[in-house]
């Protein structure tokens, strides 16, 4: 059996968590995002909306009401 016990979650502080994150941040690098290529309008076709979704949108008030 381990002699170490984990601290209850209530005893962990936000400052300690932020410190852990700050130390790890340099190790986590996100890849550079490239802009998505635009799609020609002629390629967009066949969009269908399920009746339940259409009723939901129809029941919503117009923008600016």
25-48 pLDDT per residue, tens: 887 777 888 888 898 888 888 878
pLDDT cut 90: percent of the chain above it: 0
Domains of the chain by residue range:
7-57
CA distances from 38 to 3, 4, 35, 48, 61 (A): 59, 56, 9, 21, 31
Cα 18 to Cα 7, 27, 62, 65: the distances in Å are 17, 15, 42, 42
Q: Is the dihedral of CA 22, 26, 31, 34 positive or negative?
A: positive
Asked if pLDDT for residue 53 goes beyond 60, the answer is yes
Vertex 49: Cα angle to 40 and 62 (nearest 5): 95
Q: What does the mean pLDDT of the chain come to? A: 77
Q: Is the pLDDT of residue 3 over 80?
A: no
């Amino acid at each position: 059996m381990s002699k170490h016990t984990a601290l209850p979650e209530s005893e962990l502080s936000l400052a300690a968590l932020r410190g852990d994150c700050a130390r790890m941040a340099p190790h986590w690098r996100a890849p550079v995002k490239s802009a998505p290529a635009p799609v020609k309008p002629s390629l967009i076709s066949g969009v269908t909306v399920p009746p339940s979704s259409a009723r939901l949108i129809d029941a919503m008030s117009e923008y600016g009401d």
